[in-house]
Amino acid sequence: MEFIFDEQPIVADSSKVRSVTFKVYAMFITLLTLSILSIVVKVVLGSSDIIYDSSVPTNVLEKTESSYYIPAIINLVVAVVAAVFVGLVGNKFLNKEYKNNQLVEEALYYANIGMMIGLLAPYTMSAFQVAVSVIIAIYASTIVLGGRGNGIFNTVATAIVVMGVSFTIPTLVIDGNAVVTPLTSLGNYTEAMGESLAFTIPDLLLGNVVGISLITSTAIMLAIALVILAVLKVIDIKITLSFLIGLFATALVAGLITGFGIEYALGHLLVGYTLFAATFLLTDETTSPITREAKIIYGVFIGVMTVLLRDLASVSLDALIFAILLANILTPTLNRELVRTSKSNTIKTIAIMAVVIIVAGLVVGFTIDSRFGGAL
Protein backbone atom coordinates (compact mmCIF):
# COMPACT_ATOMS: atom_id res chain seq x y z
CA MET A 1 0.00 0.00 0.00
CA GLU A 2 1.33 3.36 -0.95
CA PHE A 3 -0.18 6.63 0.19
CA ILE A 4 0.80 9.49 -2.05
CA PHE A 5 1.60 12.40 0.20
CA ASP A 6 4.22 14.77 -1.18
CA GLU A 7 1.78 17.06 -2.90
CA GLN A 8 -1.82 17.38 -3.93
CA PRO A 9 -2.40 15.92 -7.37
CA ILE A 10 -2.09 18.26 -10.29
CA VAL A 11 -4.75 16.21 -12.04
CA ALA A 12 -8.13 16.75 -10.48
CA ASP A 13 -10.62 13.96 -9.98
CA SER A 14 -13.78 15.71 -11.02
CA SER A 15 -15.83 13.59 -13.36
CA LYS A 16 -18.92 15.72 -13.80
CA VAL A 17 -17.42 18.36 -16.08
CA ARG A 18 -17.33 18.46 -19.84
CA SER A 19 -13.78 17.31 -20.31
CA VAL A 20 -11.54 18.38 -23.14
CA THR A 21 -11.73 14.79 -24.40
CA PHE A 22 -15.50 14.97 -24.61
CA LYS A 23 -15.25 18.24 -26.48
CA VAL A 24 -12.87 16.81 -29.05
CA TYR A 25 -15.10 13.78 -29.66
CA ALA A 26 -18.28 15.88 -29.83
CA MET A 27 -16.62 18.30 -32.27
CA PHE A 28 -15.46 15.40 -34.41
CA ILE A 29 -18.90 13.83 -34.60
CA THR A 30 -20.53 17.17 -35.37
CA LEU A 31 -18.03 18.05 -38.07
CA LEU A 32 -18.28 14.61 -39.64
CA THR A 33 -22.06 14.85 -39.70
CA LEU A 34 -21.87 18.35 -41.15
CA SER A 35 -19.47 17.19 -43.88
CA ILE A 36 -21.68 14.29 -44.87
CA LEU A 37 -24.86 16.35 -44.72
CA SER A 38 -23.43 19.22 -46.76
CA ILE A 39 -22.41 16.75 -49.48
CA VAL A 40 -25.86 15.12 -49.33
CA VAL A 41 -27.50 18.54 -49.63
CA LYS A 42 -25.39 19.25 -52.71
CA VAL A 43 -26.36 15.94 -54.31
CA VAL A 44 -30.05 16.13 -53.45
CA LEU A 45 -30.81 19.80 -53.99
CA GLY A 46 -28.44 20.38 -56.86
CA SER A 47 -28.19 24.08 -57.64
CA SER A 48 -31.14 25.06 -59.71
CA ASP A 49 -30.83 28.77 -59.10
CA ILE A 50 -27.17 29.40 -59.89
CA ILE A 51 -26.59 32.97 -60.87
CA TYR A 52 -23.87 33.53 -63.43
CA ASP A 53 -21.81 36.61 -64.02
CA SER A 54 -21.71 37.12 -67.73
CA SER A 55 -19.19 39.95 -67.48
CA VAL A 56 -16.42 37.57 -66.43
CA PRO A 57 -14.93 36.01 -69.59
CA THR A 58 -14.25 32.28 -69.28
CA ASN A 59 -12.72 29.76 -71.54
CA VAL A 60 -12.86 26.74 -69.28
CA LEU A 61 -15.64 24.23 -69.35
CA GLU A 62 -14.20 21.71 -66.88
CA LYS A 63 -16.90 21.74 -64.20
CA THR A 64 -20.51 20.79 -64.64
CA GLU A 65 -23.49 21.57 -62.46
CA SER A 66 -23.69 18.04 -61.15
CA SER A 67 -20.05 17.52 -60.27
CA TYR A 68 -18.52 20.89 -59.36
CA TYR A 69 -18.33 19.86 -55.69
CA ILE A 70 -16.38 16.60 -56.26
CA PRO A 71 -12.92 18.25 -55.96
CA ALA A 72 -14.01 19.80 -52.67
CA ILE A 73 -14.71 16.34 -51.25
CA ILE A 74 -11.23 15.21 -52.30
CA ASN A 75 -9.80 18.37 -50.71
CA LEU A 76 -11.63 17.55 -47.48
CA VAL A 77 -10.10 14.08 -47.28
CA VAL A 78 -6.65 15.40 -48.17
CA ALA A 79 -6.91 18.14 -45.53
CA VAL A 80 -7.84 15.64 -42.79
CA VAL A 81 -5.02 13.25 -43.69
CA ALA A 82 -2.47 16.08 -43.91
CA ALA A 83 -3.61 17.59 -40.60
CA VAL A 84 -3.43 14.32 -38.66
CA PHE A 85 -0.05 13.56 -40.21
CA VAL A 86 1.49 16.96 -39.35
CA GLY A 87 -0.09 16.99 -35.92
CA LEU A 88 1.18 13.58 -34.86
CA VAL A 89 4.63 14.04 -36.39
CA GLY A 90 4.83 17.42 -34.68
CA ASN A 91 3.91 15.82 -31.35
CA LYS A 92 6.72 13.32 -31.93
CA PHE A 93 9.20 16.20 -32.17
CA LEU A 94 7.68 17.78 -29.07
CA ASN A 95 8.22 14.49 -27.19
CA LYS A 96 4.60 14.38 -26.13
CA GLU A 97 3.70 11.31 -24.07
CA TYR A 98 0.37 9.62 -24.57
CA LYS A 99 -1.60 7.85 -21.85
CA ASN A 100 -4.76 5.77 -22.20
CA ASN A 101 -6.67 7.05 -25.23
CA GLN A 102 -4.77 10.26 -25.66
CA LEU A 103 -3.30 9.25 -29.01
CA VAL A 104 -6.78 8.85 -30.45
CA GLU A 105 -7.85 12.12 -28.88
CA GLU A 106 -4.84 13.94 -30.29
CA ALA A 107 -5.43 12.47 -33.75
CA LEU A 108 -9.08 13.48 -33.61
CA TYR A 109 -8.14 16.99 -32.54
CA TYR A 110 -5.99 17.43 -35.65
CA ALA A 111 -8.60 15.66 -37.77
CA ASN A 112 -11.09 18.28 -36.58
CA ILE A 113 -8.76 21.05 -37.71
CA GLY A 114 -8.24 19.32 -41.05
CA MET A 115 -11.96 18.86 -41.51
CA MET A 116 -12.67 22.51 -40.75
CA ILE A 117 -10.04 23.64 -43.25
CA GLY A 118 -11.35 21.19 -45.85
CA LEU A 119 -14.89 22.45 -45.38
CA LEU A 120 -13.81 26.08 -45.68
CA ALA A 121 -11.40 25.65 -48.61
CA PRO A 122 -12.83 27.20 -51.79
CA TYR A 123 -14.09 24.85 -54.50
CA THR A 124 -11.41 25.94 -56.93
CA MET A 125 -8.44 25.05 -54.73
CA SER A 126 -6.41 22.04 -55.79
CA ALA A 127 -5.73 19.21 -53.35
CA PHE A 128 -2.03 20.07 -53.36
CA GLN A 129 -2.71 23.68 -52.43
CA VAL A 130 -4.98 22.63 -49.60
CA ALA A 131 -2.40 20.18 -48.24
CA VAL A 132 0.33 22.83 -48.32
CA SER A 133 -1.90 25.33 -46.51
CA VAL A 134 -2.81 22.78 -43.85
CA ILE A 135 0.80 21.82 -43.24
CA ILE A 136 2.03 25.42 -43.05
CA ALA A 137 -0.83 26.52 -40.81
CA ILE A 138 -0.64 23.68 -38.30
CA TYR A 139 3.13 23.86 -38.16
CA ALA A 140 3.34 27.63 -37.83
CA SER A 141 0.43 28.31 -35.53
CA THR A 142 0.46 25.26 -33.27
CA ILE A 143 3.43 22.92 -33.43
CA VAL A 144 6.21 25.52 -33.25
CA LEU A 145 4.61 27.08 -30.20
CA GLY A 146 4.34 23.81 -28.27
CA GLY A 147 1.48 21.80 -29.73
CA ARG A 148 -2.17 21.65 -28.87
CA GLY A 149 -3.31 24.30 -26.43
CA ASN A 150 -0.68 26.82 -27.43
CA GLY A 151 -0.51 29.55 -29.98
CA ILE A 152 -1.96 32.96 -30.64
CA PHE A 153 -3.53 32.57 -34.05
CA ASN A 154 -6.44 30.30 -34.87
CA THR A 155 -5.03 27.42 -36.91
CA VAL A 156 -8.00 27.16 -39.28
CA ALA A 157 -8.07 30.90 -39.95
CA THR A 158 -4.32 30.83 -40.55
CA ALA A 159 -4.75 28.05 -43.10
CA ILE A 160 -7.43 29.96 -44.98
CA VAL A 161 -5.27 33.10 -45.01
CA VAL A 162 -2.31 31.06 -46.27
CA MET A 163 -4.55 29.86 -49.11
CA GLY A 164 -5.71 33.38 -49.84
CA VAL A 165 -2.30 35.04 -49.90
CA SER A 166 -0.22 32.23 -51.42
CA PHE A 167 -2.38 31.09 -54.30
CA THR A 168 -4.65 32.75 -56.78
CA ILE A 169 -8.15 31.56 -56.18
CA PRO A 170 -9.91 31.30 -59.53
CA THR A 171 -13.59 32.10 -59.82
CA LEU A 172 -15.77 29.03 -59.84
CA VAL A 173 -16.85 28.24 -63.36
CA ILE A 174 -19.74 25.91 -64.04
CA ASP A 175 -20.60 24.94 -67.60
CA GLY A 176 -18.55 27.77 -68.92
CA ASN A 177 -20.14 30.45 -66.76
CA ALA A 178 -18.61 32.31 -63.78
CA VAL A 179 -20.67 31.80 -60.63
CA VAL A 180 -21.68 34.67 -58.37
CA THR A 181 -21.59 33.43 -54.78
CA PRO A 182 -23.86 35.02 -52.15
CA LEU A 183 -20.81 36.61 -50.52
CA THR A 184 -19.59 38.32 -53.70
CA SER A 185 -23.16 39.25 -54.41
CA LEU A 186 -23.38 40.93 -51.02
CA GLY A 187 -20.12 42.73 -51.80
CA ASN A 188 -21.37 43.85 -55.20
CA TYR A 189 -24.56 45.03 -53.61
CA THR A 190 -22.65 47.68 -51.72
CA GLU A 191 -20.22 48.34 -54.58
CA ALA A 192 -22.55 49.47 -57.31
CA MET A 193 -26.09 50.63 -57.66
CA GLY A 194 -28.63 48.59 -59.48
CA GLU A 195 -27.05 45.27 -58.52
CA SER A 196 -29.58 42.88 -57.06
CA LEU A 197 -28.84 40.25 -54.43
CA ALA A 198 -27.98 36.88 -55.98
CA PHE A 199 -29.81 35.00 -53.27
CA THR A 200 -33.00 34.91 -51.30
CA ILE A 201 -33.05 34.28 -47.56
CA PRO A 202 -34.93 30.92 -47.86
CA ASP A 203 -32.35 29.77 -50.41
CA LEU A 204 -29.56 30.57 -47.98
CA LEU A 205 -31.33 28.74 -45.18
CA LEU A 206 -31.88 25.60 -47.24
CA GLY A 207 -28.57 25.63 -49.10
CA ASN A 208 -30.02 26.12 -52.53
CA VAL A 209 -27.03 28.27 -53.55
CA VAL A 210 -23.44 27.80 -54.63
CA GLY A 211 -21.19 29.32 -52.00
CA ILE A 212 -17.43 29.67 -51.75
CA SER A 213 -16.95 26.26 -50.24
CA LEU A 214 -18.79 23.13 -49.12
CA ILE A 215 -19.96 24.53 -45.82
CA THR A 216 -21.02 28.03 -46.82
CA SER A 217 -24.60 27.09 -47.54
CA THR A 218 -27.45 25.48 -45.59
CA ALA A 219 -27.63 27.92 -42.71
CA ILE A 220 -30.29 25.84 -40.93
CA MET A 221 -27.90 22.90 -40.63
CA LEU A 222 -25.17 25.10 -39.17
CA ALA A 223 -27.63 26.74 -36.79
CA ILE A 224 -28.73 23.32 -35.51
CA ALA A 225 -25.10 22.29 -35.01
CA LEU A 226 -24.52 25.53 -33.11
CA VAL A 227 -27.48 24.93 -30.82
CA ILE A 228 -26.54 21.30 -30.14
CA LEU A 229 -22.94 22.14 -29.29
CA ALA A 230 -24.07 25.04 -27.10
CA VAL A 231 -26.54 22.86 -25.21
CA LEU A 232 -23.88 20.19 -24.70
CA LYS A 233 -21.63 22.99 -23.37
CA VAL A 234 -18.94 22.10 -25.86
CA ILE A 235 -18.68 25.67 -27.11
CA ASP A 236 -18.80 28.89 -25.13
CA ILE A 237 -22.02 30.67 -25.96
CA LYS A 238 -20.72 34.05 -24.74
CA ILE A 239 -18.37 34.57 -27.66
CA THR A 240 -20.74 33.10 -30.23
CA LEU A 241 -23.70 35.20 -29.14
CA SER A 242 -21.78 38.46 -28.80
CA PHE A 243 -20.29 37.87 -32.25
CA LEU A 244 -23.64 37.14 -33.91
CA ILE A 245 -25.36 40.03 -32.16
CA GLY A 246 -22.46 42.38 -32.94
CA LEU A 247 -22.46 41.41 -36.61
CA PHE A 248 -26.22 41.51 -37.04
CA ALA A 249 -26.68 44.79 -35.15
CA THR A 250 -23.91 46.56 -37.03
CA ALA A 251 -25.29 45.37 -40.37
CA LEU A 252 -28.79 46.35 -39.29
CA VAL A 253 -27.76 49.91 -38.39
CA ALA A 254 -25.95 50.19 -41.72
CA GLY A 255 -28.92 48.62 -43.52
CA LEU A 256 -31.35 51.07 -41.97
CA ILE A 257 -29.23 54.05 -43.00
CA THR A 258 -28.66 52.93 -46.57
CA GLY A 259 -32.17 51.59 -46.98
CA PHE A 260 -31.05 48.04 -47.78
CA GLY A 261 -33.15 46.99 -44.85
CA ILE A 262 -33.20 43.87 -42.76
CA GLU A 263 -32.49 41.60 -45.73
CA TYR A 264 -28.98 43.06 -45.87
CA ALA A 265 -28.42 42.31 -42.17
CA LEU A 266 -29.80 38.79 -42.51
CA GLY A 267 -27.58 38.31 -45.54
CA HIS A 268 -24.54 39.18 -43.44
CA LEU A 269 -25.69 36.66 -40.84
CA LEU A 270 -26.20 33.81 -43.29
CA VAL A 271 -23.60 34.16 -46.06
CA GLY A 272 -20.01 33.07 -46.15
CA TYR A 273 -18.34 31.57 -43.13
CA THR A 274 -20.42 33.44 -40.53
CA LEU A 275 -22.35 30.64 -38.83
CA PHE A 276 -19.58 28.08 -39.23
CA ALA A 277 -17.06 30.49 -37.73
CA ALA A 278 -19.42 31.35 -34.90
CA THR A 279 -19.63 27.67 -34.02
CA PHE A 280 -16.13 26.38 -34.63
CA LEU A 281 -13.54 29.10 -35.17
CA LEU A 282 -14.34 31.80 -32.62
CA THR A 283 -14.94 29.33 -29.84
CA ASP A 284 -11.44 27.89 -30.15
CA GLU A 285 -10.45 28.07 -26.50
CA THR A 286 -6.75 28.51 -27.04
CA THR A 287 -6.97 31.67 -29.08
CA SER A 288 -9.97 33.29 -27.40
CA PRO A 289 -9.78 35.27 -24.16
CA ILE A 290 -10.58 33.95 -20.69
CA THR A 291 -12.67 36.41 -18.74
CA ARG A 292 -16.31 37.21 -19.28
CA GLU A 293 -16.01 40.77 -20.56
CA ALA A 294 -12.97 39.94 -22.62
CA LYS A 295 -15.07 37.28 -24.36
CA ILE A 296 -17.83 39.79 -25.07
CA ILE A 297 -15.35 42.35 -26.38
CA TYR A 298 -13.70 39.67 -28.52
CA GLY A 299 -16.98 38.52 -30.05
CA VAL A 300 -18.30 42.00 -30.74
CA PHE A 301 -14.96 43.09 -32.16
CA ILE A 302 -15.00 40.25 -34.70
CA GLY A 303 -18.62 40.94 -35.58
CA VAL A 304 -18.04 44.65 -36.18
CA MET A 305 -14.77 44.11 -38.03
CA THR A 306 -16.41 41.51 -40.27
CA VAL A 307 -19.05 43.97 -41.46
CA LEU A 308 -16.46 46.74 -41.85
CA LEU A 309 -14.04 44.58 -43.84
CA ARG A 310 -16.71 42.88 -45.93
CA ASP A 311 -18.26 46.16 -46.98
CA LEU A 312 -15.43 48.65 -47.03
CA ALA A 313 -12.37 46.60 -48.00
CA SER A 314 -12.13 44.29 -50.91
CA VAL A 315 -10.84 40.99 -49.57
CA SER A 316 -10.60 37.99 -51.86
CA LEU A 317 -11.94 35.46 -49.34
CA ASP A 318 -14.44 36.03 -46.56
CA ALA A 319 -13.19 39.03 -44.56
CA LEU A 320 -14.38 37.26 -41.40
CA ILE A 321 -11.14 35.27 -41.37
CA PHE A 322 -9.09 38.46 -41.19
CA ALA A 323 -11.35 39.80 -38.45
CA ILE A 324 -10.68 36.63 -36.44
CA LEU A 325 -6.92 36.97 -36.86
CA LEU A 326 -7.08 40.65 -35.84
CA ALA A 327 -9.02 39.70 -32.72
CA ASN A 328 -6.51 36.92 -31.99
CA ILE A 329 -3.83 39.60 -31.78
CA LEU A 330 -5.91 41.34 -29.12
CA THR A 331 -6.43 38.21 -27.00
CA PRO A 332 -3.19 38.31 -24.95
CA THR A 333 -3.72 41.99 -24.20
CA LEU A 334 -7.33 41.43 -23.18
CA ASN A 335 -6.26 38.55 -20.93
CA ARG A 336 -3.61 40.66 -19.29
CA GLU A 337 -5.60 43.84 -18.81
CA LEU A 338 -9.05 42.54 -17.83
CA VAL A 339 -7.93 40.83 -14.66
CA ARG A 340 -11.12 40.88 -12.66
CA THR A 341 -14.70 40.38 -13.66
CA SER A 342 -17.77 41.49 -11.81
CA LYS A 343 -21.39 42.00 -12.70
CA SER A 344 -21.19 45.79 -12.88
CA ASN A 345 -18.09 45.56 -15.07
CA THR A 346 -19.88 43.19 -17.42
CA ILE A 347 -22.86 45.52 -17.75
CA LYS A 348 -20.50 48.43 -18.38
CA THR A 349 -18.72 46.41 -21.07
CA ILE A 350 -22.01 45.51 -22.74
CA ALA A 351 -23.03 49.18 -22.76
CA ILE A 352 -19.71 50.26 -24.30
CA MET A 353 -19.99 47.50 -26.91
CA ALA A 354 -23.49 48.66 -27.83
CA VAL A 355 -22.11 52.13 -28.48
CA VAL A 356 -19.25 50.66 -30.55
CA ILE A 357 -21.74 48.66 -32.64
CA ILE A 358 -23.90 51.71 -33.33
CA VAL A 359 -20.90 53.87 -34.26
CA ALA A 360 -19.53 51.15 -36.56
CA GLY A 361 -22.94 50.71 -38.13
CA LEU A 362 -23.16 54.45 -38.75
CA VAL A 363 -19.67 54.50 -40.29
CA VAL A 364 -20.50 51.61 -42.62
CA GLY A 365 -23.89 53.04 -43.50
CA PHE A 366 -22.71 56.54 -44.31
CA THR A 367 -19.66 55.31 -46.20
CA ILE A 368 -21.83 53.16 -48.48
CA ASP A 369 -24.27 56.04 -48.72
CA SER A 370 -21.54 58.44 -49.85
CA ARG A 371 -20.33 55.84 -52.33
CA PHE A 372 -23.63 56.23 -54.11
CA GLY A 373 -23.46 60.00 -53.76
CA GLY A 374 -26.25 60.12 -51.25
CA ALA A 375 -28.64 58.77 -53.83
CA LEU A 376 -30.00 56.06 -51.55
Q: Segment contacting other proteins (CB under 8 A): 86-94, 117-125, 135-143, 282-290?
A: 282-290
Alpha-carbon distance values, 196 to 173, 184, 192, 200, 307 (Å): 20, 11, 10, 10, 19
Q: Which long-range contacts does 226-231 make (Cβ < 8 Å, 24+ apart)? A: 226/275, 226/278, 226/279, 228/30, 229/26, 229/27, 229/30, 229/279
Positions 149 through 168 that interact with other proteins (CB under 8 A)? 149-150
Q: Measured from the CB of residue 276, what is the shortest distance to other proteins in angstroms?
A: 20
Q: Report how far residue 157's alpha carbon sits from residue 319's, in angstroms, rounded to the nearest whole number.
A: 11
Nearer to other proteins, 316 or 342 (CB): 342
Query: From residue 242 to residue 281, what is the string marking binding to other proteins with x (rule CB under 8 A)?
Result: ----------------------------------------
The SS3 of residue 230 is helix
Nearer to other proteins, 128 or 233 (CB): 233
Q: Report how far residue 298's alpha carbon sits from residue 307's, in angstroms, rounded to the nearest whole number.
A: 15
Q: Measured from the CB of residue 20, what is the shortest distance to other proteins in angstroms?
A: 5
Count of C-beta atoms within a 10 Å radius of residue 149 = 11
Q: Segment contacting other proteins (CB under 8 A): 53-61, 206-214, 288-296, 367-375?
A: 288-296
Binding of other proteins at residue 346 (CB under 8 A)?
Answer: no
Q: Measured from the CB of residue 155, what is the shortest distance to other proteins in angstroms?
A: 14
Count of C-beta atoms within a 10 Å radius of residue 97 = 6
Q: Segment contacting other proteins (CB under 8 A): 27-35, 94-102, 256-264, 307-315?
A: 94-102
Q: Report how far residue 337's alpha carbon sits from residue 132's, in angstroms, rounded to the nearest whole number.
A: 37
Name the site residues for other proteins (rule: CB under 8 A). 1-5, 7-14, 16-20, 23, 97-100, 102, 147-150, 236, 285-286, 288-292, 295, 335-336, 339-342
